[in-house]
Chain A
C-alpha cells in the first residue's frame, strides 16, 4: 500500500507525461513533504535538503515517462530522493569525513555520559550510519537496495545499521547487556 497516496494518480501521471505543468506541480505538492523529510534526515543542512528536494523533482519531471505504474508512485519518487540525498553526501565528501569522525571523535562521545533525546542522538550519528538507519528502519529500504544506492556491499549496510543502533542505545542511556 502506498504510504503517501495521491488522488487520481493515473490521470495526474498521464498528464505529467504530456508535460502538463499543473500535473507536474500536483506531483510536487503530493510528495514535497515526505521527500524533504527524507532528505533532511539524511543531509547535514537544510540547504542540502532543499537542494535534494529540487534535484529530486527535477528528475521526477524529466523521467516521469519512465515510471512504470506497476509499483507505487511514492516508492518510485522515494528511491529517486534517497539516491539524490546519498549523492549529495558523496559530493560533499561527508562520508570520508564521517568515517574519520566515527573513528576519532567517537571515543570522546562515548566518554560523555549525557543522555540525549532521540532527535539529538540521530543528529549526532555519522552521516553514513544515519543514512542507513533512516533508510532501513524508517523508509523501509532493504539492505540490498541501500547497498545498491550507496555502491557498497550488503554487509556494509548491515554493519552500519548495527553501528548506528549500538550508538543510539548508548546515547539514549539504555542499559547494556549484562
Chain B
C-alpha cells in the first residue's frame, strides 16, 4: 500500500480544493497510518505555534528614532537649501527687471542683500562640507541643531511669503531683515557643528 507523501499530507491542511485532494482524502479514510501521520503533523504545527516568544535583549527604539530623525533633518536641509536657492534666483530676477538700462550702480541696500545671500550660501556650503548627518552628536547638541534647522526652515517660509506678497523690489526692509536672520541662524548652526567639532578634535 502506498502511503501519502509529506507534500500530500500538507496539501490536505491547505484551505480550498487542491487537485488530487479527493483521492487523498479517500485514502486517508482507509489508512490508519496516514491518519496518524496527519495527526502528528497537526500536533507538530501546534507545538511550533506554542514555542516561547523570544524577546529582544536591548531596546532598539532609540536607534530607530535616531535614524528617522536623521532622515527628517536631511529632508529639511534639502528643502531649506532648495527654497533659499529659488528665493535667491527670484530676487536676482526681480532686481534685474527693476534695474533700468543702462544698468545703474547698485544701491547700498542691493549690495547688502547680495552680500547676505553670498554669506548664506557660504555658510550652507560649510555645513554641507562638514556633513552633519554622518556624525554622532550628543542629545543636547542634536536638539540645538534641530531647533536651528527648524528656525531656518521657518525663515525660508516667511521669505517665500514676503516675496510672493510684494511686487518685485518692494519687500525691501522685510526681505533684508529675513536674510539677516537666516545668516545669523546659519552662523549659529555652523558654530554648533563645525566649531564644536574642531574644539573637541573630531
Contact = CB atoms under 8 A, between A and B. Distances in A.
Interface in B41-79: 41, 44-45, 47-49, 51, 53-58, 60-61, 63-65, 67-68, 71-72
Contact residue range for chain B? 20 to 34
Contacts of A158: 7, 10-11
Given A158-B10, A165-B6, A177-B33, A32 B56 contact: yes
Contacts of A133: 48
Nearest to B49: A138
Contacts of B60: 32, 50, 53-54, 57
Interface string A144-174: 0000000000000011011001101100101
Contacts of A62: 68, 71
Contacts of A58: 64, 67-68
Interface string B12-46: 00100000000000000000011001001100110
A159 B49 CA distance: 20
A136 to B, nearest CB: 9
SS class, residues of chain B in contact with chain A: helix
B33 A19 contact: no
A28 B64 contact: yes
Interface string B176-190: 000000000000000
Given A54-B64, A133-B48, A37 B6 contact: no
Contacts of A165: 6, 10, 41, 44
B40 A33 contact: no
Nearest to A172: B44
A168 B58 CA distance: 31
Interface in B72-114: 72
A134 B51 CA distance: 11
Given A57-B60, A161-B10, A162-B6, A33 B51 contact: no
B57 to A, nearest CB: 7
17 contacts: A24-B65, A29-B61, A36-B56, A50-B56, A50-B60, A54-B60, A58-B67, A58-B68, A133-B48, A137-B45, A158-B7, A158-B10, A165-B44, A169-B44, A174-B44, A177-B37, A178-B33
Given A19-B72, A25-B65, A36-B54, 11 more contacts: A37-B55, A49-B56, A58-B67, A119-B51, A137-B45, A138-B45, A158-B10, A168-B44, A169-B44, A172-B44, A174-B40
Interface of A: 19, 21, 24-25, 28-29, 32-34, 36-37, 40-41, 46, 49-50, 53-54, 57-58, 61-62, 118-119, 122, 133-134, 137-138, 143, 158-159, 161-162, 165-166, 168-169, 172, 174, 177-178
